[in-house]
Structures are given as structure tokens and as C-alpha cells.
Copies of this chain bind each other. A is one copy, B any other.
Amino acid sequence: MSTKPKPHPQQNHLLAALAPDVQARLFPHLELVPLPLRSLMYESGRTMRHVYFPTDAIVSLQYIMENGASTAILVVGNEGLLGISLFMGGQGTPSRSIVQSAGHAYRLPRPKVKEEFNRHGQLLLLMLRYTQALITQVAQTAVCNRHHSIDQQLCRWLLLSMDRLSHNQLTMTQEFIGNMLGVRREGVTQAALKLQQQGVISYSRGLIKVLDRDKLEALSCECYGVVKKETEILLPYLPQRQVIKDVAAIPVVTLPTL
């Protein structure tokens, strides 16, 4: 086992934006959870027991149809959280959450979330704001699914993923992207080929490198920009505070295999 440095809770923008006293209250109850590539964090019908705040992982939320077809409706990274039903009032959602880029998340158990909800403090306000941004993303996905080509949607998808990473490499096959966009793998192949020929990306066997981000944005549909702009209005980036010193004291948890 190597001793890689633990990710810090402040890598998650929502946690980072909290006032020092709120951080001091909450952080002792956080648990660090490694999120391996392609692991399932949630499956329809189950009950979520934690809210997850990703630090360096990306999670996709997808709906599965009766015939097995699927579509991703949302991408969550360190700008957000997973498990809104815990404070919105439901037990779960008819969706599935899959780790799209390996990393970690800090999680807060349900009772603590409830406690914080009742306290009616800063965390609740942030969670609700994030939820509103989330709705925008889902809605724009609906519009995009209706009106835009696979080419455009692939660009949007790559950008959504890029924004939540600190580097420019994505680990996902065209088959996987097809599942996320709800289109055929061959359709993704065609679109990816065009992008590669234009020098926007390069890829091989599940490893995609983004070479020209500006061009990618230019080739994407407006949906990416609309959501980004709206999110920035709702969740303006707040300077990270440094409060916790002893990250090492936070326990590490292993997700049960699903």
C-alpha cells in the first residue's frame, strides 16, 4: 500500500464554502470513501444512508428504462454532492449512480444530515442552491436530448467531465459514453473520429485526452454554456478556507461491493 496523501474535504467546493465554525462542527463526522472506477454508488430502490461530497471523483447519475436502455441525466464532481433525497425528503430516487472517474468522496451519515437540516444553517442553504443548479443541468439535458446531434452531445459530455477533473484525461470507452448519452456505441465512434481528425482529442482503448478545449467548446451545443453560467450564478466560487489540520484523523471507509 502506498501512502498517497489523503484528499482534503476542502477540495469539495460546497464543504470549502462553509464557515469555519460549521466546518469545525461537521468535519469530525465525515468519512473518507474511495470511489473506484465504475463502481455503483446507488441503485434504484435502495435507501441512501449518506450524503457524498466528491473531492476528486466524478459520478454520473443515470435512469434505466425497462428495456435496459439508459441515459445519464447528471454529472456530479467536486462542485456538488450526491444524495439530495436525504434532505429533500424522499427515500431514494429511481436512478443509478456510477463512478465515472475514480477518486474519493467524503460522506456524512443521514442522522447528521438531518441534524444539520434542522439546524437550518449554511449547509442547508448551500445544498438547496446546489439542488437548483442540478435541476438546471437535468432540464438542459432533456432539451439537449431532443434537439442536438451526437457530435454536439459528445462535446458537451467531455466538457462536463473535464470541468470536474484537474487533468485532461478521461478514462472511458466509447461503449460507456454511449450508455451515458443513450446512443449507440457506433455513433460515439463516428463523433469521436471527427473530433480526433480535427485535433480536438486523441484517444485509444478507453483513454481520451483533450487537446483543444476551446475548440471543444466551440463544437459543443449551447447546453454546456447555459448550465455552466447558471451554476456560476447560483454557486459563485468561494475562496477555500483552511480549517482542518488533521486530515489523517478522518476515517477511511470501504464501500460494500454492489
Interface residues in chain A, defined as those with a beta carbon under 8 Å from any beta carbon in chain B? 63, 65-66, 69, 71, 73-74, 84-85, 87-91, 93-95, 118, 120, 125, 128-129, 131-132, 134-136, 138-143, 145-147, 182-183, 222, 226, 230, 233-234
**Residues of chain B lying within 8 A (CB to CB) of residue A94:** 136, 226, 230
- Whether B143 lies near A71 (C-beta < 8 A) is yes
Q: How many copies does the complex hold?
A: 2
- Whether A91 lies near B145 (C-beta < 8 A) is no
* Given A146-B182, A230-B94, A234-B89, A63 and B131 contact (CB-CB distance below 8 Å): no
How near does chain B come to A90, taking the closest CB pair, in angstroms?
5
25 inter-chain pairs at a CB distance below 8 angstroms, sorted by A residue, are: A63-B140, A63-B143, A69-B146, A69-B147, A71-B147, A73-B143, A74-B139, A84-B132, A88-B132, A88-B135, A89-B125, A89-B129, A89-B234, A90-B233, A91-B233, A93-B135, A94-B136, A118-B120, A135-B135, A135-B138, A141-B142, A145-B145, A145-B146, A146-B182, A147-B182
